[in-house]
Structure 1
């Protein structure tokens, strides 16, 4: 029984789907944003929700019309947005010395 291994590293994009390949630049851009402005940090904390909204069932007169999945399944960059919100909260709390409880 012979096993062969390649001396070339595996392509890191080989296992990604087409959707992931298209969204990857946006994910990298969101991860690279450095928060350094107090007003921008406040705005980001207000715009990005603190937790993933739960899924909802829309019913009319007892009949199921629609199921809205949770935001984390719809939004392909949800984890990166939460990371950006966390960096904004950290900047406001540690660098600016603000109380961040209004954003939680």
Structure 2
């Protein structure tokens, strides 16, 4: 199961030299439900090479605001704490894998 990023643990979990994929989502969001299984699969696929997790924007709006999230799903790849990739909307697992692989 993908990591659950919160305002309390975000800094600790993302302070790594590994790339981090963050899925900004909400339970009521239809496109988020389409992307969710892809994020879960990538969590397993990239275990040990990258961190993969989710931020529920309803519960952690400050994190969404920090990254300028205006639409969900928004997925960002962080490297050394900086955004290096950003995808807005429902995309395929292959697209997400390609974006994350570019920074492993």
TM value normalised by structure 2 = 0.24
Higher helix proportion (structure 1 or 2):
1
Larger relative contact order, structure 1 or 2 (CA cutoff 8 Å, min sep 6): 2
Greater strand share, structure number: 2
